[in-house]
């Protein structure tokens, strides 16, 4: 029997040429949810946010995340770029953990950024933290190097590793890497 378009021979099926562990149909992908469990190390606040459901970002969860990731020094809140949540979610999936993700820094106000630039090295003048497009985090009980490699594998935005301070930086800017 010859194969015609849209039909499969027994040999092809048995040979594994068409085998796949599963197929996600568009309707199934649209209904899947994305959630993150996080703990902010400076405020000791925790959050479990299902920020994506039914094919779109959840506005209520977004509001909660904006507050959770605020500049803890000034209490200033901005809209966080939810693509940073996607990056962290993808890192967690690659490692096989869903948290809790330990947050070191989300949004950073201009005052906080200027203060940190004056007291610390490696703080960018035009940091993506100022736009709500960057998060510094770590995954407890996970190797920092393993987390860094998983973030690099996502291939989305900037990824930095800060081994002395024990955190990973991700942002939604251009793809680039730094640190050792």
Q: What is the pLDDT of residues 12-49, one digit of tens each?
A: 333 433 333 333 334 444 458 999 999 999 999 999 99
pLDDT band of residue 150 (cuts 50, 70, 90) is very high
pLDDT at 107: 98
pTM of the model: 0.81
Residues 6+ apart with CB under 8 A from 43: 72
Q: Catalogue all structural domains in the chain, each as residue range(s) with its CATH number.
A: 31-179 (3.30.1380.10)
Q: For residue range 75-130, list pLDDT tens digits in order.
A: 999 999 999 999 999 999 999 987 799 999 999 999 999 998 888 877 888 899 99
70: left (phi over 0), alpha (psi -120 to 50) or beta: beta
């Amino acid at each position: 029997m010859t194969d015609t378009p849209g039909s499969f021979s027994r040999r092809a099926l048995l040979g594994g040429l068409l085998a796949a562990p599963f197929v996600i149909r568009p309707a199934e992908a649209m209904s899947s949810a994305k959630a993150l469990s996080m703990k902010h190390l400076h405020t000791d606040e925790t959050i479990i946010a299902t920020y994506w459901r039914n094919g779109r970002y959840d506005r209520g969860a977004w509001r909660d995340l904006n507050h959770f990731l605020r500049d803890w020094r000034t209490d200033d809140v901005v809209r966080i770029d939810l693509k940073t949540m996607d990056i962290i979610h993808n890192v967690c999936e690659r490692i096989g953990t869903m948290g809790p993700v330990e947050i070191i820094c989300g949004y950073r106000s201009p005052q906080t950024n200027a203060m940190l630039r004056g007291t610390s090295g490696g703080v960018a003048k035009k940091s993506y933290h100022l736009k709500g497009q960057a998060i510094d985090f770590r995954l407890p009980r996970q190797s920092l190097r393993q987390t860094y490699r998983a973030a690099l594998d996502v291939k989305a935005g900037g990824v930095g590793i800060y081994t002395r301070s024990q955190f990973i930086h991700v942002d939604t800017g251009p793809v680039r890497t730094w640190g050792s």
